[in-house]
Structure 1
Amino acid sequence: MQELSFVKNYKENFSLRTSFNRLAASTFGIQFETWYQHGFWTEKYQPYSYVDNGQVIANVSVNLLTLVINNEEKQAVQIGTVMTHPDYRNQGLARKLMDKVLADFSQVDFIYLFANQTVLDFYPKFGFAPVEEVQFSMDYCHIPAEQLGVRKLDGSKPDDLTFVHTLAAERISGSKHFGTKGSEELLMFYCLMVFNQDLYYLEEEKCLVICQRENTVLHLYDVISEEKVVLKDILRKIADNSITKIILHYHPDDNEVKLDKQPYQSKLFVKNMTGVKLPKEFKHPFTSQA
């Protein structure tokens, strides 16, 4: 085996991008080409990779975004797409790539990631500590409301994607307590690849709602708007009388509804670079998770 080459931020290199996508597909069952072709792979997403004979064989990706914590903005890096081809494992490649990322982004407030079950002992070696989140939910009793002004969008249609991206780029953080800003590219990945048939625009509230139904449970993944909206009003329009429970996959700000909280083991690992105090209880928004 010849000496490996280190490359980063190579999205415009067709050959390397194709190899990267191939490794991501074989490792996670996902691919990034559609995201790239729609223009949502920007400089905020930077792969750090080792290449052997023109093929990407190990990677650690950087996602640049802003965390909103108690109404203050903090600069953060979220690590994602950590993968190594099976033929190159147990050679310390992921460790070397992590070292490069940590060296390049030593000035941010937070570096964090969501680990998978098989590598929970890997990230503490770099100073990451596990952090427990909370899951918000509520019992729901439907109050009838007119369903007028609810428009279903299609994440496979360019016009609808452009509409969503424009709204997302100007959105306020979903929560002043704990939320994200500047993460619209991550959101668009979900709109393209995960929730493309779960997008609803509420004309009166001027907000986009991402939600899925599971029997009598409604999973609310995000509410995207340029101004504050009232959760109670949204639920009256998107939840019918068969829904008995709402699960929120982000940290809500709305105090007009009673919410239950339960510990949520998301395998979140955080490296606090500047000593910023995290809230005692919070939920990272699902649609900003790399």
Structure 2
Amino acid sequence: MPGFLLTVSLPKVIQQLCTCALITDKTLQWAESRKNALTALSLVCTTVGIAPSSPGGVDQVTLAVIFRTLIDGLEDYTVDSRGDIGAIVRESTMSSIQVLTNTSQPELLEADLIRSVLHAVAKQSTEQIRRTRIFVQALHQMTFLDPESMKLILSTQILPRCTNPELYLRHGSILASGKVISALCQVAKDHQRRLPEELGDAAMEYITQTCIDILEERFWRSFGGDQMRIAVCYFIQDLSSGGFPLLDAVVDRWLKALRECLASADSNVQQSAISAVTALIGEYFRHQPVEKLTALSISTSTISYPR
């Protein structure tokens, strides 16, 4: 619908879409309709804009209503004979949250609402493996809305799950941790503060210990397999790109793990490792002598890959 038509009947359009997104006894099986309604809410916002920067656009009160509808969408776990039909609703919701996070001004959202969204997204970051990356990218973007709340969520909800015996919880939490830590590194740079000052010594130690714990053999080999290796590669890439300060001993462990990933028979593991190695060397070895960099490059490029 064109923007000028939406503006004329904006409150009614949004009200109807929010109603369509609700689960009732009659609409329980209409997951596709809920998915489309949630997608449409973000499209309406991008079409008419967000007030006050866009006169006639979505105002602060209405934006809050939309976000609360999206939070409800993340709790759609409807199941029928087709399986988890609520999954498409949750995916659509996350995509809409990403869109609104990029287009709306954070100051228009109340702190309690932001925290509610962050908690809901953090929960989804440990969803089924094939959907996890959709959610963790949104988590990265939303960290900038409320860094203080995200620090608490990271230390109390996400990091503890990085060593959970359940693969899907561990995998999702490792991916989420990397994205959130990378975003917090950027927050520290924006505030012109050292990362230990931004996060605190306890959080720094917790993150550093997690960097070691996720490589324990019982996770790395017995309970993880290729999915675990891919998650760790993304984690290493994110922390390296963010510039998280690490001891040489931890970096050496990472490098050893990445060499193993480079030799994997799975091409997805190999590609993830290549990206991680590039980021790792670029951050932690950039001040090394040319001779050491050359030797390091040779050691990671002459691995005999499985055919």
- TM-score higher than 0.5 here? no
TM-score with structure 2 setting the length? 0.26
Q: Which has the larger radius of gyration?
A: 2
In terms of fraction of residues, the more helix-rich structure is 2
In terms of fraction of residues, the more strand-rich structure is 1
Bigger relative contact order, structure 1 or 2 (CA pairs below 8 A, ≥6 apart)? 1
